[in-house]
Amino acid sequence: MSNASAPDSSPSLEVGAADTQTSVRAAWAVGFLTLVSTFNYLDRSLLGLLLPLIKDDLDLSDTALGLISGVAFGLVYALLCLPIASLADRSSRRNIITAGFALWSLMTALTGYAVNGIQLAICRLMMAAGEAAGVAPSQSMISDVVSRERRPFALAIFQTAFAIDAIVFLPLTAWIAGIHGWRAAFQFAGFFGLLLAIIFFLTVREPERRLEGRAERAPGVTLIQAMFGLWKVPAFRAMMLGVAFTGGALNAASAWTSALIVRVHGLTVTEVGLYVTPSRGFVAVFGILFVGWMAERLGRRDERWRFGVPALVCLIVAPAYLMFLLSDTRSVWIMGMLISGALHTAAQGPLFAVIVALSPENMKTVALAIKVFVANLLGQLCGPLAVGILNDLLMPIHGDQGIRYSMIMVAVCYLMAAICFLWAGRLARRDGHYALR
């Protein structure tokens, strides 16, 4: 009897082992892609954290810093993310991510050797070229290693990269900058990233692309065909308008929040890096995971919540950010800072999930790249630069306090984004898009 039963159990054991191996491989891929994204945020946000030290050392104006942190980065990033995404839809995303990760890490390290604004801008330009290969291909990979139902939460985990950066790596680099100077902080982040790029290439596999219920793979399309195809979807256009507003808010806040706290509330750069940034990071982990979980749960009951949750988040962030900006009472501005810190990136995971759902399988990486393109074209180009210009204009009237009034535009952008996401949900429901069936 035992000989007869043994062959029956073997296939199930093999299937179970294969499922376990697949789950472990998926978890490793999502986890490592999150770590790659963490260094994407670190290398990008270091300039904002160390901006007061760099400003004094290189003798740069706020307008010049806004150009370097926003325009120099955003223009190259926006121009390259779409063609790279189109390439990623037709070739190995793992290899593209590896090459981009290595390039932006090298440029981060070289930033530590810049001696003037021109050299700083050149490093920033090349860093943007590398980072353009990071976000969209990574999100496309994640969408292929997890099921459609699990995407909102998986992409929310990916979005915790911002919080991991704030909790672990920004405090570490702030400590290094406090002891060895801002240059050493950039060099540490860059050379460590190069090592991780090698490990990523050796340990992460390119996943098989999901067909999303279609019997056959959709034929490949050119970048122009994908862009026109996506632009024909009204809900997609409305989403992109909301993304433009959130991009402006996120990039302006990322570039200037540390400077605001130093100028208005009297903390040092080291104190911001060691205490404020980790606090915002801890609450951001909770906010990102909770909003991702909520979007997944509510979206199963009614697909309209996939648009409603990002809108609700934006409606909460706007007044919280105003509390942070305008209050002089310590308990009030800290509360506003923590609430806005918990939620200001929390909508990104659900937004990415909606964009994937609205896109055909052979266009989803391009769709994600369009999201990144729009956020950076208007966000990076306009957000940090607009605040920098306003700071210089308000300086003769309000002194260092002028930055708090310049950054009111962040709250306004979140309110406009909420309106756009609600509008997108109505359009998707009206048109009977398959994502809402």
Q: Which fold has domain 33-206+220-436?
A: Growth Hormone; Chain: A; (1.20.1250)
DSSP 300-348: HH-TTHHHHHHHHHHHHHHHHHHHHHH--SHHHHHHHHHHHHHHTTTTH
| CA 346/CA 310 separation, integer angstroms | 8
pLDDT tens string, the chain, 437 residues long: the values are 445 444 554 544 443 444 555 677 878 888 999 999 999 988 888 888 888 888 888 888 888 887 787 777 777 887 887 788 778 877 888 999 999 999 999 999 999 999 898 999 999 999 989 988 887 788 888 888 877 667 767 777 887 887 788 888 988 998 999 899 999 999 999 999 999 999 999 998 888 776 554 444 445 566 677 777 777 778 888 888 998 898 888 888 877 888 888 888 878 877 887 888 788 888 888 888 888 788 877 877 777 788 888 999 999 999 999 999 988 888 898 999 999 888 887 877 788 778 877 776 667 777 877 787 787 777 777 777 788 888 888 888 888 788 889 999 899 999 999 999 999 888 877 766 544 44
Give the pTM: 0.68
Task: Give the per-residue pLDDT at 9.
Answer: 47
Task: Give the per-residue pLDDT at 20.
Answer: 55
Task: Give the per-residue pLDDT at 435.
Answer: 46
| CA 413/CA 340 separation, integer angstroms | 13
Helix axes 117-131, 73-88, angle to 10 degrees: 20
Task: Give the per-residue pLDDT at 215.
Answer: 40
Residue 61 backbone dihedrals phi, psi, to 5 degrees: -80, 165
Task: Say whether 61 sits in a helix, a strand or coil.
Answer: coil
Task: Give the per-residue pLDDT at 362.
Answer: 65
> Hey, what are 106's tokens?
């090298």
Task: Give the per-residue pLDDT at 14.
Answer: 45
